[in-house]
Homo-oligomer: A and B are copies of this chain.
Amino acid sequence: VAKLLQIDFPFTGPFGSEMAEALKGLAVSITEEPGFIWKIWTENAAEKEAGGIYLFETEETAQAYLEKHTARLKELGVEKVNAKIFDVNEDLSRITKQQSRNT
C-alpha cells in the first residue's frame, strides 16, 4: 500500500526560484529513490520553514527515505525534522478531487 510521508523543518532559505535553482539536482536524484512516486515541495519564507509531502510505494521505502533525508538535513544544519507517515484514504480523496495517484 502506498504511504504518504509528511516532512517539515526549520529552514532559513533560499526560497522560491532561488531554492529551485539550488536544489534542482537534488530534486532529480529524489525521483530515483527506491519506491518514490511523487513529492510536493513546501516552503514558508515568513515562518522560516520548509518540507515536503511525498508518496512512496511502501512503508519500508518511505521509512528508508526519511532516514536518508533526515541525515542529509542534519549535515545542512537542520537538527529537528517533523515527520509523519500516513495511509491515504482514497475514497474520500476521490470526492475531494485529489487521489494520491492518477490511475
Contact = CB atoms under 8 A, between A and B. Distances in A.
Nearest to A95: B27
A84 B88 CA distance: 19
B6 A87 contact: no
Contacts of A27: 92, 95-96
A17 B85 CA distance: 19
Interface string A88-101: 11011101111110
Contact of A49 (B30, B86, B95): B86
A56 B24 CA distance: 25
Contact of A96 (B41, B86, B95, B98): B41
A55 to B, nearest CB: 8
